[in-house]
Amino acid sequence: MTNGRRGGSVKSFGAGRIALWHGGIVWIGHAGEETGFHSHHAIQVTLSLSGGALYFKIPGEDWQAHAAAVIAAHQPHAFDGRGGLVALILIEPESREGRALRQRYPAGVASLAPDALAVAAAELSAAWAAGTGNEELAARARAVTTMLTSMQAMPPGPLDRRIARAIEVLRQRIGETVTLSEVADAVHLSSERFRHLFLQETGIRFRPYVLWLRIEVALAAYAAGKSLTEAAYAGGFADSAHFSRTFKRMFGVPAVSVGRI
């Protein structure tokens, strides 16, 4: 594998479309560049929609080829799918689908049997090719995760209702400065109890989770046609540079390199 970041200019990771739903994001497009090592809160399901191999590397190991793969939440990895049509589906671990996937894929990068997802992947690819609206594209992406979770032998328990409520509060106030103690008060828990329960239920500390939600909001604005600066402000970032640094740390490529068509 060669390094995809040649020269000093910012190269496009790929040209594609972004669609979001409550608890998930999908990017579909033609991958143009290899990413650097990165990690994010979401569980990532990656599919090759054009039949080519996808390559993943985790620190300390060699590149491995997959036709389809699941990357566990918070798993550092690099990705190379250059030349192919690729779907990257990101599922929040605290969502219903995410809790099932987190139980089944707790760490690392796991291969998926492409035949098991062939129908759902073909429908997703067809929706992309037809230029369907974002709602339909998101529905086809969710069908992939539904197929995966249907293979789960034992369904996960429900998210603690207090943490579910806390996430609702955070989403409602994502444009504001909100503290852990304020959210803990809103769900009638002490700050210390809330801190531990939040980490236990979501797999992430409170402040990094707020940052993840801000990225979601900014991505939604960007997908709707806003500029990177406008998207950064929508997500509550101080400026586009702050948004870009955070995006690169989470996704391995600069935000400006994720092309839209």
List pLDDT tens digits, range 65-111: 999 999 999 999 999 988 789 999 999 999 888 988 998 899 999 99
How far CA 216 is from CA of 3, 7, 20, 53, 87, in Å, comes to 28, 30, 8, 28, 17
Split at pLDDT 50, 70, 90, the class of 141 is very high
pLDDT at 46: 95
Higher confidence at residue 237 or residue 224?
237
Under CATH, domain 161-260 is a member of which superfamily? Homeodomain-like (1.10.10.60)
pLDDT band at 163 (very low <50, low <70, confident <90, very high): very high
> φ and ψ at 66, to 5 degrees?
-140, 150
Domain boundaries, given as residue ranges, for the chain? 14-150, 161-260
Q: Is the pTM of this model over 0.75?
A: yes
Q: Is the pLDDT of residue 192 over 70?
A: yes
Interatomic CA distance for residues 223 and 142, integer angstroms: 18
**Strands of the chain, DSSP E:** 14-21, 24-31, 43-48, 54-57, 64-66, 68-71, 78-80, 85-91, 109-111, 258-260
What mean pLDDT is reported for the chain?
86
CA distances from 218 to 58, 120, 199, 205 (A): 27, 28, 24, 20
Which residue, chain included where needed, has tokens 């809330």? 194
- CATH fold, domain 14-150, is Jelly Rolls (2.60.120)
Q: Give the mean model confidence (pLDDT) for residues 116-139.
A: 91
pLDDT-derived band at 24 (thresholds 50, 70, 90) equals very high
What pLDDT, on the 0 to 100 scale, is given for residue 153? Answer: 58
The tokens 């497009």 sit on which residue? 29
pLDDT band at 8 (very low <50, low <70, confident <90, very high): very low
Contact call for residues 116 and 63 (beta carbons, < 8 A) = no
pLDDT at 181: 96
Task: Quickly state the pLDDT bin for 155 (edges 50, 70, 90).
Answer: low
Q: Report, as an integer, the average pLDDT of 253-259.
A: 66
